[in-house]
A and B are shown apart, each in its own frame.
Chain A
Amino acid sequence: MKISTATPLTAIDRHWQRFTLSQKLSRYAVYLVLVLALVLSIQTVEVIPEFFYDAPEQMADMFTRMWPIDFAYYPVSVHDAMLETLNIATLGTLLTLIFAIPLALMNASNVVASPWCHWIARFFLVSSRSVNSLVWALLFVAIFGPSVIAGVLAIAFRSVGFVGKLLGEAIEEINMGPIEALTATGASWAAILLKGYWPQILPAFFSIVLFRWDINVRESAVLGLVGAGGIGVVLSDSMNLFEWQRVAMALLAIFVVVILAEILVVNIRKRLL
């Protein structure tokens, strides 16, 4: 039997449109609200036109003061401060894992079934993320005084939420088949975690930790502004003394280190998968 491929003509044209009338109206309403919000916020921030127009001039002025970069200042104090920043970022990231791994496990519904556990884990993860690392640093500087330890703790506390949440999600996405198979062999809970869950989340784990370390290198560069150690202290001191050529040196050092960290992380991640 031959099957006809021609479409039969229908007497009535069928109607199709993507949005119904009420959907269309609500979409226009959203656009209107967006425009209103923009207008209102421009009125609120009260841009002073004079300051705004001479910004290019000011910027050019600042760059001329920054130039030439004071390279001689690098061995004097930038080098040590930069190392301190890297130490803060690395120690902070390692310290984070102690809290983030248990919280991630508690937050993953395919590891712990109890909703109570999920809420407790979520509480800590959200409170860690809701506070900026600069604010954490202010708190710890108040407790420990201006020092590296304040920086490390600030980085660690801010990262717990990030690492814990992403790791928890990675755990929830694993294939439960192997877990079922290991349960069937009579393996203990800990053995199943080590041999069933861990191999499956390993690439995600290192990817997340390296990504966070990369972010932490950048964040810890700023922490010195509130006295929590690292390159930020040098930056802030030079700015206060109007030593713009030294500021330029510190900024360049941060820029180079961040680029190097990025290259390192990308290369390690490529090898992991």
Chain B
Amino acid sequence: MSSAQAFLEIKGLQKEYVSGNPILKGIDITITEPGIIAIIGPSGTGKSTLLRCINRLIEPTAGQIIFEQADLCDARGGELRKLRRHVGMVFQEYNLVERLSVIENVLTGRLGYMSAWRAWRRNFSQQDINTAFELLDAVGLSEHATQRADSLSGGQRQRVGIARAVMQDPRILLADEPTSSLDPKTAVEIMELLERFAQEKNIPALVNIHDVNLARRFAKRMIGMAGGKVVYDGSPEGISDEHLKLIYGGESWLA
């Protein structure tokens, strides 16, 4: 498979918050297939850092991230913003603008495509407004469109978060622990939504996740991280107890 077809190519990615103490120690991941790709690993191993390096919410120390034929690590200013538009991100704490309405939160997904003046005037194109309402239909929140975001429950907020990310017209979705603050049933529904949008748009969705069983159920591919390195990269069926011991350490929790 040639790299030109890859959705995302991460080469030798390193990140040090404190010099000499790397949290990511050379990550190589190539993503050529759409669908959910689960990243598992213990807390503090750099899963969130990895996702945030991809859209440069965190500055990588070294390495390359090839996306849309450009190196995200080198992008500056306007170029970086243009690339970010095509990377949708879903957060653990939803990160909605709470005092804005649900529909406006979805529409903020288009901010990268419009001037600040038009954003201030709430001058969204008719097409954007139609898309936003379609997305709200898709996540089942149409009747809440004009409600304020802080009036929603956790699961509903995460749906809005997903709709906002999809509103960006992304070529890849990143989800940082999207289900960790939710109950098990809602967590499954959120994963189903991510899977559905990944399929519809034919794009990959990188999902950081704690729940190994949930990951196995939805992922087409699983990446196990430990100590700032990728220690497993393959099918969910191929991941054994041995691998899980290697990733998380210990074994009493496996029983």
Minimum CB–CB distance from A171 to chain B (whole Å) comes to 15
Q: A191–B97 Cα gap in the complex (Å)?
A: 13
- Is A186's CB under 8 angstroms from B119's CB? no
* A180: contacting residue among B91, B113, B168, CB under 8 A: B91
- Is A181's CB under 8 angstroms from B96's CB? yes
Taking CB atoms, residues of chain B closer than 8 Å to A183 are 57, 84
Q: A185–B83 Cα gap in the complex (Å)?
A: 9
Beyond A187-B108, A190-B116, whether A195 also contacts B97 by CB under 8 A is yes
Q: Is A178 an interface residue (CB 8 A)?
A: yes
Minimum CB–CB distance from B100 to chain A (whole Å) comes to 5
Taking CB atoms, residues of chain A closer than 8 Å to B161 are 181
Q: Is A182 an interface residue (CB 8 A)?
A: yes
- Is B116's CB under 8 angstroms from A202's CB? no
Q: Is A20 an interface residue (CB 8 A)?
A: no
- Is A181's CB under 8 angstroms from B116's CB? no
- Determine the residue in chain A with the shortest Cβ distance to B170: A185
Beyond A186-B84, A194-B116, A194-B120, whether A200 also contacts B108 by CB under 8 A is no
Q: Is A196 an interface residue (CB 8 A)?
A: yes
How many A-B contacts at CB < 8 Å in the complex?
85
Q: A177–B85 Cα gap in the complex (Å)?
A: 18
Q: B-facing mask of A151-187, CB < 8 A → 1, else 0?
A: 0000000000000000000000001011011111111
Beyond A180-B91, A194-B116, A195-B108, whether A186 also contacts B168 by CB under 8 A is yes
Minimum CB–CB distance from A3 to chain B (whole Å) comes to 23
Interface size on B, residues (CB 8 A): 34
* B99: contacting residue among A190, A193, A202, CB under 8 A: A202
Interface size on A, residues (CB 8 A): 22
Q: Which of chain B's residues 88-117 have a Cβ closer than 8 Å to chain A?
A: 88-89, 91, 93-100, 108-116
Taking CB atoms, residues of chain A closer than 8 Å to B112 are 185-188
Q: Which of chain B's residues 170-212 have a Cβ closer than 8 Å to chain A?
A: none
Taking CB atoms, residues of chain A closer than 8 Å to B113 are 186
Q: Is A199 an interface residue (CB 8 A)?
A: yes
Taking CB atoms, residues of chain A closer than 8 Å to B80 are 186
- Determine the residue in chain A with the shortest Cβ distance to B90: A181
Q: A182–B91 Cα gap in the complex (Å)?
A: 12
Q: Which of chain A's residues 180-234 have a Cβ closer than 8 Å to chain B?
A: 180-188, 190-196, 199-200, 202
Minimum CB–CB distance from A180 to chain B (whole Å) comes to 6
Q: Is B49 an interface residue (CB 8 A)?
A: no
Q: A201–B78 Cα gap in the complex (Å)?
A: 27
Q: A193–B116 Cα gap in the complex (Å)?
A: 9
- Is B91's CB under 8 angstroms from A181's CB? yes
- Is A185's CB under 8 angstroms from B168's CB? yes
- Determine the residue in chain B with the shortest Cβ distance to A193: B116
Taking CB atoms, residues of chain A closer than 8 Å to B96 are 178, 181
Q: Is B87 an interface residue (CB 8 A)?
A: yes
- Is B116's CB under 8 angstroms from A200's CB? no
- Is B97's CB under 8 angstroms from A186's CB? no
Minimum CB–CB distance from A200 to chain B (whole Å) comes to 7
Q: A200–B87 Cα gap in the complex (Å)?
A: 25
Minimum CB–CB distance from B7 to chain A (whole Å) comes to 17
Beyond A184-B57, A185-B84, whether A177 also contacts B95 by CB under 8 A is yes
Beyond A184-B84, A184-B89, whether A191 also contacts B95 by CB under 8 A is no
- Determine the residue in chain A with the shortest Cβ distance to B174: A184
Minimum CB–CB distance from B129 to chain A (whole Å) comes to 16
- Is B111's CB under 8 angstroms from A195's CB? yes
Q: A185–B111 Cα gap in the complex (Å)?
A: 7
Q: Is B245 an interface residue (CB 8 A)?
A: no
Taking CB atoms, residues of chain B closer than 8 Å to A202 are 99
Q: A33–B57 Cα gap in the complex (Å)?
A: 53
Minimum CB–CB distance from A182 to chain B (whole Å) comes to 6
- Is B109's CB under 8 angstroms from A191's CB? no
Minimum CB–CB distance from B108 to chain A (whole Å) comes to 6
Taking CB atoms, residues of chain A closer than 8 Å to B114 are 191
Q: Is B164 an interface residue (CB 8 A)?
A: yes
- Is A185's CB under 8 angstroms from B85's CB? yes
- Is A200's CB under 8 angstroms from B97's CB? yes
Taking CB atoms, residues of chain B closer than 8 Å to A175 are 98
Q: Is B243 an interface residue (CB 8 A)?
A: no
Given A177-B91, A186-B82, output 20 extra A-B contacts at Cβ < 8 Å: A177-B93, A178-B98, A181-B89, A182-B108, A183-B57, A183-B84, A184-B88, A184-B89, A185-B109, A185-B112, A186-B84, A187-B112, A190-B116, A191-B115, A191-B116, A194-B116, A196-B97, A199-B99, A199-B100, A200-B97
Q: Could you pull out 8 A-B pairs where Cβ atoms are within 8 angstroms?
A: A177-B93, A178-B98, A185-B84, A186-B85, A186-B168, A187-B81, A188-B112, A191-B119
B interface residues with partner A (beta carbon < 8 Å): 55, 57, 80-85, 87-89, 91, 93-100, 108-116, 119-120, 161, 164, 168
Top 10 A-B pairs ranked by shortest CB distance? A186-B112, A190-B116, A187-B111, A186-B84, A186-B85, A177-B95, A181-B95, A186-B81, A184-B89, A191-B116
